[in-house]
Amino acid sequence: MRVLHLHSSFSAGGKELRAARLMNVFGAGIEHTVVSAQPGAFGAKVALDPALKVEFPEDFPSLQGRPTPLRLLRIAWAMRGFDLVLTYNWGAMDAVLAHRLYARLLRLPPLVHHEDGFNEDEASGLKPRRNLFRRLALARASALVVPSRRLEGIALRAWKQPRRRVRLIINGIPVAAYREPPPADAIPGLAKAPGEKWVGTLAGLRAVKNLPSLVRAFAGLPPEWRLVILGEGPERAAIEAQAKTCGIADRVYLPGFVPDPSRAVGLFDFFALSSDSEQFPISVVEAMAAGLAVASPAVGDVAAMVSGENRSYVTPPGDEAALAWAMSELAGDEALRAAVGEANRACAEAQYDEDAMISAYAAVYGTAMGQSRFP
């Protein structure tokens, strides 16, 4: 079986790591071809099982450019010979349109599209032209998979997708792997010193994550606290500059991407998110599974994801002062952090284990291919 993955980016973010996890679980009997709309953005490949057969072709037609008929035909032609095409986010939408236009002519394999959220160009509001583009392009897709109820509503109302096409699959993780606290030196190049307290986050260092805002919200915490940002991306310099401006450069750590979050998240004393846009952030589930309280703006489904005990620390979107308050409240009360964290852990174990997610994806992919199961 040959599966083609067309990503907006295959950098080490939530959707990419989920895709890698599914590839690992489905096993070595499948050959994968992975394409990124952003040239060279293949950071998530470190999460792939070395036993898998995965190609990263350099000669696949670009997923970026004007959607002219000839360019779309080239993309569609490159889909031939696969058994299933999986596309991800707006950056792969030209490929979805190419499939719609040429699937019958070229006898292309079925296509399943995944939408996980928006970058900074749509974080403040949907673009009507993109809504129309998605509506037209998705008309021949076998399924549209979304991870959040908010995005499910957008797919049904703004993108005018029929109910039968939209599949809500909640993100899951191997929650049991997060139960044991990692050793103090589990993060390469960084060890937690005795007496230190860590606010942590997991995020691609992109503008939509608004990590300079997190630095500012953190700046008022007592001197024993450190801010640990796990991830990589183009906003590293902006984050470091903000820390320097706030006079806390020595208390803000950016050790880079960690391929196994279960070996790191448990070192945090609580978790913080500052994104302008999210849907169902896997990082929040990882924090909950590790028994952490979460301070976050109410983006996407976050307020519904966390336990009832945690909801007081989910603040209005865009309100930096409110996020700073939530972080200060959690930083100042160890017993509160422990109680909220245990409630979050129980919630994660009850609702977000990956087994249900894996089964749901296998069912969607199998149905698209006309099979009773996948692979």
Same domain, 36 and 128: yes
Burial environment of residue 237 by CB neighbours within 10 A (0 to 12, 13 to 18, 19 or more): exposed
Q: What's the pLDDT tens digit per position in 284-342? A: 999 999 999 999 999 999 999 999 999 999 999 999 999 999 999 999 999 999 999 99
Task: Note whether 360 and 327 are same-domain residues.
Answer: no
Q: pLDDT digits over 76-132, tens only?
A: 999 999 999 999 999 999 999 999 999 999 999 999 999 998 877 786 789 999 999
Same domain membership, residue 200 and residue 331:
yes
Question: Do the domain assignments include residue 226?
Answer: yes
Closest C-alpha among 242, 170, 172 to residue 205: 242
Q: Is 241 within the bounds of a domain?
A: yes
Beta carbons within 8 Å of 53's beta carbon, 6+ residues apart: 28, 30, 31, 32
% of the chain with per-residue pLDDT over 90: 94
Query: Which residues have a Cβ under 8 Å from the Cβ of 158 and sit 6 or more positions away?
Result: 126, 131
Task: Report the percent of the chain where pLDDT is more than 70.
Answer: 100
Residue 70 lies in a domain: yes
Q: How far apart are the first and last CA of the chain?
A: 8
164 and 188 co-located in one domain? no
Judge if 71 and 210 occupy the same domain: no
Same domain, 18 and 123: yes
CATH of the domain at 131: 3.40.50.2000
Instruction: Calculate the alpha carbon distances from 206 to 28, 134, 212, 348 in Å.
Output: 32, 24, 10, 26
Co-location of 148 and 190 in the same domain = no
Same domain, 44 and 157: yes
Q: Is residue 276 assigned to a domain?
A: yes
Same domain for 197 and 108: no
pLDDT in tens, 32-83: 999 999 999 999 999 999 999 999 999 999 999 999 999 999 999 999 999 9
Residue 247 lies in a domain: yes
In angstroms, the CA 212 to CA 157 distance is: 33
Is residue 375 in a domain? no
Structural domains of the chain, count = 2
Per the domain annotation, does 190 fall within a domain?
Answer: yes
- List the domain range (segments joined by +) for residue 305: 175-351
